[in-house]
Protein backbone atom coordinates (compact mmCIF):
# COMPACT_ATOMS: atom_id res chain seq x y z
CA UNK A 1 0.00 0.00 0.00
CA UNK A 2 1.21 3.49 -0.84
CA UNK A 3 2.04 5.65 2.19
CA UNK A 4 1.38 9.30 1.39
CA UNK A 5 2.41 12.19 3.61
CA UNK A 6 0.45 15.42 3.11
CA UNK A 7 2.34 18.42 4.49
CA UNK A 8 0.43 21.66 5.02
CA UNK A 9 2.70 24.70 5.13
CA UNK A 10 0.05 27.41 5.41
CA UNK A 11 -0.43 29.16 8.74
CA UNK A 12 -4.12 29.50 7.82
CA UNK A 13 -6.29 26.54 8.84
CA UNK A 14 -9.08 26.13 6.32
CA UNK A 15 -7.32 28.43 3.85
CA UNK A 16 -6.80 27.90 0.15
CA UNK A 17 -3.88 25.48 0.27
CA UNK A 18 -5.51 23.57 3.15
CA UNK A 19 -8.66 23.11 1.03
CA UNK A 20 -6.67 21.98 -2.02
CA UNK A 21 -4.54 19.62 0.06
CA UNK A 22 -7.68 18.08 1.60
CA UNK A 23 -9.03 17.44 -1.91
CA UNK A 24 -5.74 15.83 -2.91
CA UNK A 25 -5.90 13.65 0.22
CA UNK A 26 -9.44 12.58 -0.74
CA UNK A 27 -8.16 11.58 -4.17
CA UNK A 28 -5.24 9.63 -2.71
CA UNK A 29 -7.54 7.82 -0.28
CA UNK A 30 -9.89 6.94 -3.15
CA UNK A 31 -6.89 5.43 -4.94
CA UNK A 32 -6.27 3.23 -1.88
CA UNK A 33 -3.35 5.08 -0.28
CA UNK A 34 -2.65 5.29 3.42
CA UNK A 35 -2.69 9.08 3.96
CA UNK A 36 -1.29 11.08 6.87
CA UNK A 37 -1.48 14.86 7.25
CA UNK A 38 1.19 16.98 8.94
CA UNK A 39 0.19 20.57 9.80
CA UNK A 40 3.38 22.57 10.19
CA UNK A 41 1.70 25.52 11.90
CA UNK A 42 1.03 23.29 14.94
CA UNK A 43 4.68 22.21 15.27
CA UNK A 44 7.77 23.84 16.70
CA UNK A 45 10.46 23.28 14.09
CA UNK A 46 13.72 25.09 14.78
CA UNK A 47 15.43 26.43 11.66
CA UNK A 48 18.60 24.60 10.57
CA UNK A 49 21.52 25.68 12.78
CA UNK A 50 24.28 24.35 10.48
CA UNK A 51 25.60 22.04 13.20
CA UNK A 52 26.33 19.50 10.42
CA UNK A 53 26.13 16.47 12.66
CA UNK A 54 24.15 15.12 9.70
CA UNK A 55 27.30 15.02 7.57
CA UNK A 56 28.63 12.34 9.93
CA UNK A 57 25.45 10.47 10.81
CA UNK A 58 22.77 11.44 8.27
CA UNK A 59 20.70 12.58 11.24
CA UNK A 60 19.90 16.03 12.58
CA UNK A 61 21.29 16.83 16.03
CA UNK A 62 18.37 19.12 16.94
CA UNK A 63 15.62 17.38 18.90
CA UNK A 64 12.21 18.98 18.44
CA UNK A 65 8.93 18.38 16.57
CA UNK A 66 10.89 17.67 13.38
CA UNK A 67 12.59 14.64 14.92
CA UNK A 68 9.71 12.14 14.43
CA UNK A 69 9.01 13.51 10.96
CA UNK A 70 12.26 12.12 9.51
CA UNK A 71 10.95 8.58 9.93
CA UNK A 72 7.60 9.63 8.42
CA UNK A 73 9.37 11.11 5.38
CA UNK A 74 11.60 8.07 4.91
CA UNK A 75 8.75 5.58 5.15
CA UNK A 76 6.47 7.51 2.78
CA UNK A 77 6.38 6.58 -0.89
CA UNK A 78 4.67 9.85 -1.79
CA UNK A 79 4.74 13.33 -0.30
CA UNK A 80 2.55 16.30 -1.19
CA UNK A 81 3.76 19.65 0.10
CA UNK A 82 1.25 22.52 0.03
CA UNK A 83 2.18 26.12 0.68
CA UNK A 84 0.86 29.54 -0.21
CA UNK A 85 3.34 31.85 -1.89
CA UNK A 86 4.85 34.27 0.61
CA UNK A 87 7.30 36.69 -1.00
CA UNK A 88 7.74 34.45 -4.05
CA UNK A 89 8.59 31.30 -2.16
CA UNK A 90 7.16 28.98 0.51
CA UNK A 91 6.05 30.13 3.97
CA UNK A 92 8.55 30.34 6.83
CA UNK A 93 6.97 27.24 8.41
CA UNK A 94 7.53 25.29 5.21
CA UNK A 95 11.06 26.64 4.75
CA UNK A 96 12.13 25.59 8.26
CA UNK A 97 10.80 22.08 7.53
CA UNK A 98 12.64 22.00 4.18
CA UNK A 99 15.92 23.33 5.61
CA UNK A 100 15.90 20.62 8.26
CA UNK A 101 15.84 18.12 5.40
CA UNK A 102 19.46 19.08 4.78
CA UNK A 103 20.04 15.92 6.86
CA UNK A 104 18.59 14.01 3.90
CA UNK A 105 20.90 15.84 1.51
CA UNK A 106 23.92 14.91 3.68
CA UNK A 107 22.81 11.30 3.86
CA UNK A 108 22.38 11.11 0.09
CA UNK A 109 25.31 13.14 -1.17
CA UNK A 110 27.93 12.88 1.58
CA UNK A 111 27.20 9.44 2.99
CA UNK A 112 25.97 8.05 -0.35
CA UNK A 113 22.86 6.41 1.09
CA UNK A 114 19.67 6.10 -0.94
CA UNK A 115 16.14 5.14 0.14
CA UNK A 116 14.65 1.98 -1.34
CA UNK A 117 10.98 1.99 -2.18
CA UNK A 118 8.93 -0.70 -3.93
CA UNK A 119 6.72 2.00 -5.46
CA UNK A 120 9.39 4.58 -6.24
CA UNK A 121 9.40 7.85 -4.34
CA UNK A 122 7.40 10.75 -5.75
CA UNK A 123 6.67 14.27 -4.57
CA UNK A 124 4.09 16.85 -5.56
CA UNK A 125 3.73 20.56 -4.93
CA UNK A 126 0.52 22.51 -4.38
CA UNK A 127 0.98 26.29 -4.26
CA UNK A 128 -1.41 29.24 -4.26
CA UNK A 129 -0.59 32.92 -4.78
CA UNK A 130 -2.70 36.06 -4.88
CA UNK A 131 -1.12 37.70 -7.89
CA UNK A 132 -0.98 36.64 -11.52
CA UNK A 133 2.58 37.30 -12.68
CA UNK A 134 4.26 34.95 -15.12
CA UNK A 135 7.19 34.32 -12.74
CA UNK A 136 5.09 33.88 -9.58
CA UNK A 137 6.14 30.25 -9.11
CA UNK A 138 9.79 30.45 -10.29
CA UNK A 139 11.18 30.66 -6.75
CA UNK A 140 9.02 27.96 -5.18
CA UNK A 141 9.65 25.56 -8.05
CA UNK A 142 13.41 25.68 -7.53
CA UNK A 143 13.12 25.35 -3.75
CA UNK A 144 10.82 22.35 -4.06
CA UNK A 145 12.90 20.71 -6.81
CA UNK A 146 15.92 20.60 -4.51
CA UNK A 147 13.81 19.68 -1.47
CA UNK A 148 12.54 16.56 -3.22
CA UNK A 149 16.06 15.77 -4.39
CA UNK A 150 17.32 15.96 -0.77
CA UNK A 151 14.65 13.56 0.49
CA UNK A 152 15.32 11.21 -2.44
CA UNK A 153 12.03 11.75 -4.25
CA UNK A 154 11.25 12.65 -7.85
CA UNK A 155 9.40 15.93 -8.35
CA UNK A 156 6.45 14.33 -10.13
CA UNK A 157 3.48 16.71 -10.03
CA UNK A 158 2.52 20.31 -9.38
CA UNK A 159 -0.70 22.28 -9.02
CA UNK A 160 -0.03 26.02 -9.11
CA UNK A 161 -2.91 28.45 -8.65
CA UNK A 162 -2.69 32.20 -9.37
CA UNK A 163 -5.05 34.99 -8.39
CA UNK A 164 -6.53 33.53 -5.19
CA UNK A 165 -6.15 35.56 -2.00
CA UNK A 166 -9.04 35.59 0.50
CA UNK A 167 -9.51 32.70 2.90
CA UNK A 168 -11.54 29.97 1.18
CA UNK A 169 -11.72 31.85 -2.13
CA UNK A 170 -10.47 28.70 -3.86
CA UNK A 171 -13.95 27.21 -3.33
CA UNK A 172 -15.14 29.46 -6.17
CA UNK A 173 -12.97 27.45 -8.57
CA UNK A 174 -14.27 23.87 -8.76
CA UNK A 175 -11.82 23.17 -11.61
CA UNK A 176 -8.88 23.60 -9.22
CA UNK A 177 -10.55 21.45 -6.56
CA UNK A 178 -10.99 18.78 -9.19
CA UNK A 179 -7.37 19.10 -10.32
CA UNK A 180 -6.24 18.67 -6.72
CA UNK A 181 -8.36 15.54 -6.36
CA UNK A 182 -6.95 14.10 -9.58
CA UNK A 183 -3.38 14.94 -8.54
CA UNK A 184 -3.99 13.15 -5.24
CA UNK A 185 -5.50 10.15 -7.02
CA UNK A 186 -2.46 9.81 -9.29
CA UNK A 187 -0.10 10.22 -6.35
CA UNK A 188 -2.00 7.58 -4.37
CA UNK A 189 -1.82 5.06 -7.22
CA UNK A 190 1.10 2.57 -7.10
Ligand X SMILES: Cc1cc2nc3c(=O)[nH]c(=O)nc-3n(C[C@H](O)[C@H](O)[C@H](O)COP(=O)(O)O)c2cc1C
Instruction: Quote the CA–CA distance of 9 and 118 in Å, as a whole number.
Output: 28
Whether the Cβ atoms of residue 2 and residue 77 lie closer than 8 Å to each other: yes
Among residues 26, 39, 72, 86, the one that binds ligand X under rule CB under 6 A: 86
- DSSP H or E segment with residue 67: helix 67-75
167 belongs to the binding site for ligand X (CB under 6 A): yes
Taking CB under 6 A as the criterion, which residues in 119-158 touch ligand X? 128-131, 136
Cβ closer to ligand X: 18 or 152?
A: 18
Instruction: Quote the CA–CA distance of 98 and 148 in Å, as a whole number.
Output: 9
Q: Coil, strand or helix: which one is 100?
A: coil
Min dist. Cβ of residue 129 to ligand X (A)? 3
Instruction: Quote the CA–CA distance of 98 and 43 in Å, as a whole number.
Output: 14
Taking CB under 6 A as the criterion, which residues in 24-83 touch ligand X? none
Among residues 42, 165, 172, 190, the one that binds ligand X under rule CB under 6 A: 165
Interface positions with ligand X (CB under 6 A): 10, 12, 15-18, 84-88, 128-131, 136, 164-165, 167
Amino acid sequence: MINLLAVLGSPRKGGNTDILLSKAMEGAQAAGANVKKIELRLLKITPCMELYECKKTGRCAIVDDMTPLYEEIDSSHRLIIASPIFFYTVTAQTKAFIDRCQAGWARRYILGKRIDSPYGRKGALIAVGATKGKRLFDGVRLTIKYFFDAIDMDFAEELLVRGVDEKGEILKYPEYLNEAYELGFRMGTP
